[in-house]
Each structure stands twice: as C-alpha cells, then as structure tokens.
Structure 1
Amino acid sequence: MSTTSDVLVDAGALRDQVREKYRAVATDPAGPFHFHTGRDLARRLGYDAGAVAALPDRAVESFAGVANPFQLRRPAPGERVVDVGSGAGSDSFLAAQQVGPTGHVIGVDMTPEMLDKSTATAAELRLEHVEFREGLAEALPVEDGWADVVISNGVINLCADKRAVLSEIRRVLEPGGWLQFADIANGRPVPDGALRDIDLWTG
C-alpha cells in the first residue's frame, strides 16, 4: 500500500487535468496536442493495418497511445481482457477482434466524453462482448481474478499512485494472467521539483 510520501502530486488535481486534456481529445481529435493521435499514430506504432482499417473513424480518431501492447502477445480466442484507461476504445476493439465472441473485453476510463464515444462505437459495431465502465485505474470496477489479460497504453504514467494501480491490476488478474502495457518511462534521475510539478505530468 502506498504512503502519502510515495504520491508526489495531488491525485485529484492530476485527474482533473488529465480529464480535461482527454475530454479535448475526445471532442476535437484533430486539435493542437503535444502528442500524435488517430490512424497515423497507430500506423507509426506498428499496429496491424488491416485490423485498424476495419474500425470506424470514431474508434480510432481519438487514439493517443504510446506503443502497441499487442506486440507483446495477442490475446487468445475466448480470453477475458481489461483495458485500463480505454479512452475511445481503440485497443479494446482490437482486443475484441482477437478474443472473438467467446471472449469478453471491459474497457475502464474516467473521462465521460471518452466513455460516450466508446460505448456508441460498440453499439454501432454490435459488439456484445465489449463493454465500457466508468472508473479509475486505482479502483477498477472489475471483480477479483476476472481477467486473463490486462492491457494499458500510455495511462499508468498519468497516475499519481502507481503502486495502487499495479495492485488493482494484480487483483483483477487471474493467477498466471498477463499484464501487457505500453507506457512512458524515464531512465534518468528527475529533479524533485520537476517530480512535484503537476503540469509536467500532463505535458
């Protein structure tokens, strides 16, 4: 369990900034962001071109991942997947293609506009084995030991309490389950002042 000293910025304030940023990505995906988005980003990150092409624009235009978690391993048919920080659902929909109708995918996100977008896309695609739930990475709305696989893409770095996030991931994974995540890491020491600058976390 994390202590107060482990958490370097105010978690609530950080969530508010992250929500505001990704609200804009959901509603104006072509906006002037400091990161790439959409189909071009998926191509740069090495996603399967055919799988991405099969998705409607609404499922891909707000994609803002940092790498391709499926390069580590493709979820197998029938597996159950949790997507932590699912956004507009790009990775969730790709996981749904891989697990097929006998599998199940739960996307979890905290930004209402992203959830609206992903839920509408799931309905459009008539994917009954995909659902999206509102929640935090630090308190996943998923039962213990439910998932064969947990995926995440560019999300854990945006959470103040990473120990809590990883504890939740462990809780929802079945014994022997897989964690496949892509994220941003820094191999060099970061000055204490920078670690505590909330604007640098989101920027």
Structure 2
Amino acid sequence: MQSENEESQKLKALVREKYSEIAVRSEKGEAAGCCGPAGCCEPATGEQAGDGISFDIMAESYEGLEGYQPDADLSLGCGIPIEFAGLKPGQHVLDLGSGAGNDIFVARSVVGETGRLTGLDFSEAMTRKARANAEKMGYGNVEFITGDIEEMPLESGRFDVVLSNCVLNLVPDKKTAFAGIFRVLKSGGHFSISDIVLEGTIPEPIRKAAEAYVGCVSGAMQKEEYLDIVRASGFSDVTVRKEREIIIPQDWLVRLLGEEQSKILEENHFRVLSITLNGKKS
C-alpha cells in the first residue's frame, strides 16, 4: 500500500509528464486540451476513445480579450480568473500553473509596461514554450520559471495579485499551496483563482468514472472543504465570483456505468463545478 507521500509524488509525476506532452504536441501543431485522450489525464481506451464525445468542456474562450495570444492558449483552463482580478497598471502579478503564458499575456495588457509578471509552472517544457512566446512578442517585463506550487521558489511579500486557472485541484497538498499563496502576496494583496470543485456525495467507483470523463477533476475536493482551506490559510473576503457546472453527458454515464449506477449521480446531487473565487491578504 502506497503512503500518502508516495501517492502525491506519483500524481505530481503524472501531471508533469502529461503537461509536458501537451507542450510538445502544441509545438507540433497538435491540439490538446486538459481533458480527454490527448490531455493531462490518462488516455481514453476502448469505447471511451473516438466515441464522438466532446472532451473540451471546461475551457472558456479568451478570444477577443486584449493581450490574447492564440499560440499561448492551449485550452487548459476552466475559467477566466482575470475577469475578477481587479488588475491595475504597475502591479506585480504571479500566475500559478502558467502554461504557455495565456493568462500572463492577457494580464500584461492591463498592468502595462510598468507592471511585472511572473509565471510559475511545474513543467520545464511548458516554461520553455512560454519563454519562447514572450520573446517572440518582445515582452521584457515577463518572466517564466519552473517550480513546484507546494514549494514556491519565490520570496515572501512580493506580489500584488496571484492568478491561477484550473491548476490547484491537481496539487496534492492544497493547504500548503494556499499557505504559499498567502506568503508570497503583499499585505493588502489578493488572488483570483479559477478551479474545479465537487458538490454532492458519491460512491468512490462512480466518482472515478466521472473523473475519467472530466479528467482534470483528479484531486478536486468538495466545494465547502476547498473554501474552508482557503479561509484557514488566513485570507479574508473569500468570495465565489462565478460558478458553472461541468455537464457530464448522461448517455456517456449510462454507457460506462449502466442505468442503475448512473442514477446515483442524480440522486446524490453530484456536480462537478468550475468556480472563480477571490480572497484578500489583509
């Protein structure tokens, strides 16, 4: 039986591997979102593969936003945290799980040349891609570094705003992650985070089946438990600004689980949610 630490390390290794694969595939011009066969989760097999189901169900469109760069958008998010970030010119912004730089580049359009932006990602391949994108666009006030969100290689009290988009649910130790966010924020700073949470109780086998479809819910926890961790980390004014249900197609659930077990989801009011929340370091 694996220890909790061994399980955490295994999950981290899987996340690093899959996101690195996404970065490499994107360099080859191959699309790969977070969910589904080409995404950050285990490849679909058997009837799950090529069955006509759309796996791109979590990402929201950034098209039309100022600063948007298509080459940096790998459809890995589940929201648009910048919508509620309250960014201002001159601020120093940190994006956790920065990927190819999508949120960083949109944020730069607001903080401007006088601002500074730092992206932290677990995958060296992603960091390289983000740096290449920044260099291509001539952005001198943007940096991308490789590191672990649970052990951020960043000094305390450095940032005005912390962003993150569909990443913290993949971090095994969320208490440590939010404690780190609190640490690196300046006094009076705040975060805007989009993430995946769950509502309703569900038997573990059926939960795992749901995760097989909405792959990036791996590591997601109950909404209220998640919010309790955020508040316990020291943040005030913790507010859910946006909530959206991720719909798991009923026909897929029936095909995978059968009629009887698929009904358990509905009876237990089980939902997979994308939420965007804010919190402040007083």
Amino acid in the other structure paired with 1:51:
E
Kindly indicate whether the alpha-carbon contact (under 8 Å) linking 1:8 and 1:196 is maintained by their aligned counterparts in 2: no
**Any idea what the Cα deviations from partners look like across 1:117-161, whole Å, max 9, x if unmatched?**
000111111111100011011111221000000000000100100
**Any idea what the Cα deviations from partners look like across 1:44-80, whole Å, max 9, x if unmatched?**
xxx361425x52x3212x2310001012134110000
1:82 correspondence with 2:94: yes
Would you say how many aligned residue pairs link Structure 1 and Structure 2? Answer: 190
- 1:164 matched residue in structure 2: 176
- 1:109 matched residue in structure 2: 121
2:56 maps to which of 36, 40, 45: 36
Q: Following TM superposition, where does structure 1 have runs of at least 4 consecutive aligned residues deviating by more than 2 angstroms?
A: 189-200
Q: What is the rounded CA distance, in whole Å, between the counterparts of 2:88 and 2:63 in structure 1?
A: 16
User: Normalising to structure 1: TM-score of the pair?
Assistant: 0.82
1:174 correspondence with 2:191: no
| 1:47-126 to 2 correspondences below 5 Å | 47=62, 49-51=64-66, 54-55=68-69, 57-60=70-73, 62-126=74-138
Q: What is the rounded CA distance, in whole Å, between the counterparts of 1:134 and 1:67 in structure 2?
A: 23
Q: What is the rounded CA distance, in whole Å, between the counterparts of 2:156 and 2:87 in structure 1?
A: 19
1:131 maps to which of 123, 143, 157: 143
Any stretches of 5+ residues in structure 1 without a counterpart?
none
- 181-190 or 193-202, which moves further after superposition? 193-202
1:193 shift after superposition: 7.1
Kindly indicate whether the alpha-carbon contact (under 8 Å) linking 2:85 and 2:191 is maintained by their aligned counterparts in 1: no
Higher alpha-carbon Rg: 2
| 1:8-23 to 2 correspondences below 5 Å | 10-23=7-20
Q: What is the rounded CA distance, in whole Å, between the counterparts of 1:105 and 1:190 in structure 2?
A: 40
User: Structure 1 13/116 Cα, relative in aligned 2: closer, same or farther at 3 Å?
Assistant: same
Q: What is the rounded CA distance, in whole Å, between the counterparts of 1:111 and 1:181 in structure 2?
A: 20
Kindly indicate whether the alpha-carbon contact (under 8 Å) linking 1:59 and 1:88 is maintained by their aligned counterparts in 2: yes
State the Cα RMSD in Å. Answer: 3.0
User: Normalising to structure 2: TM-score of the pair?
Assistant: 0.60
> How high is the sequence identity, in percent, across the aligned residues?
33
**Any idea what the Cα deviations from partners look like across 1:173-197, whole Å, max 9, x if unmatched?**
0111111000000022355678899
1:26 correspondence with 2:23: yes
Quick check: which one's strand share is greater? 2
